[in-house]
Amino acid sequence: MYNIMFCCNDAVYKGILLAALSYRKYNKEAVTFHILTMNYEELNKNYICLTEEHRIKLEEILKEANPESKVIVYNCREAYLNALKGSQNNLSSYTPYTMLRLLADQYINLDKVLYIDTDVMIYNSLEELFNIDMGDYEYAGVRDYLGRVFINPRYINAGVLLLNLKRIRETKLFEKCLNALKVKKYSFPDQTVLNKFALKKKFLPTKYNMQHGFKKNCVIRHFCKTILWRPFYVVNIKQWEFERVHKVLHIHAFDDIFEEYNQITK
């Protein structure tokens, strides 16, 4: 059984739906999607929990590949407000939902889980990734395409993280991160504190979090903010922006999944 974690509100259900469709195409292993969510409408009217209707649809899709697959939703509102209510990072350029991953050790009773952002697509088997020996590493990830140049060569992108929850509980990594987010505002909140406070992190090949371009050995393509060099400009194109994925990023590897998504969402 594979275990994959998302943190989101219902507004980005489309991203998890596309991820589920891509998982089903390339992986037949039973999987549990662990989705951390919450209502936070006092901050933004669109900040509502993933709905039960959407949970059922995701589970239905995953069960088509393996009937043992399932989707579990965790309402983390109380724990989140206890930890970060009033934090300046609630009003950063990223939603509070990205910081829900720092509660994973409290809700997910596992030793290891793969966290992925909602703006990713799977393009290959995840077997090799899940079989990585984590030892005493707290997490494993890929260097950030921009951050390794502009911040630090060892700066890891938090969009795809193999989390060693057993070790994280021992080192109290998430607790340290939450405490830091209470008192200081960061441009890239949870990503920065995860990089800052980790005692030991494992660096993975680019294919596990391909943030720029596309190669056939890709396992996970992350549609995050990046730079196009010729001509030079910053783009932030998500996988559900099908036309821009084609015209700007020139990626057509997921067209059959995009078509199925259109049929489902009609």
Q: Is the peptide bond before 231 cis (omega within 30 degrees of 0)?
A: yes
Among 19-23, 150-154, 241-245, 246-250, the minimum mean pLDDT is found in 150-154
Pairing assessment for the beta strands 160-164 and 139-141 based on DSSP bridges:
antiparallel
Based on the number of CB atoms within 10 Å of its own CB, is 150 exposed (0-12), middle (13-18) or buried (19 or more)? exposed
Computed over every residue of the chain, the mean pLDDT equals 95
**The pLDDT value given to residue 44:** 93
For the chain, the domains span 2-223
Per-residue pLDDT tens over the stretch 99-127:
999 999 999 999 999 999 999 999 999 99
**The pLDDT value given to residue 10:** 97
On the question of pLDDT at 146 being above 90, the answer is: no
On the question of pLDDT at 93 being above 90, the answer is: no
pLDDT, mean of residues 70-93: 94
Angle ∠(201,202,203) on CA atoms, nearest 5: 120
pTM score, whole prediction = 0.95
**The pLDDT value given to residue 231:** 75
Tell me the three-class secondary structure of the chain, residue by residue. CEEEEEECCHHHHHHHHHHHHHHHHHCCCCEEEEEEECCCCCCCCCCCCCCHHHHHHHHHHHHCCCCCCEEEEEECHHHHHHHHCCCHHHHCCCCHHHHHHHHHHHHCCCCEEEEECCCEEECCCCHHHHCCCCCCCCEEECECCCHHHHCCCCCECCCEEEEEHHHHHHHCHHHHHHHHHHHCCCCCHHHHHHHHHCCCEEECCHHHCECCCCCCCCCEEECCCEEEECCEEEECCCCCCHHHHHHCCCCCCCHHHHHHHHHHHC
Per-residue pLDDT tens over the stretch 244-265:
999 999 999 999 999 999 999 9
Superfamily (CATH H level) for 2-223: Spore Coat Polysaccharide Biosynthesis Protein SpsA; Chain A (3.90.550.10)
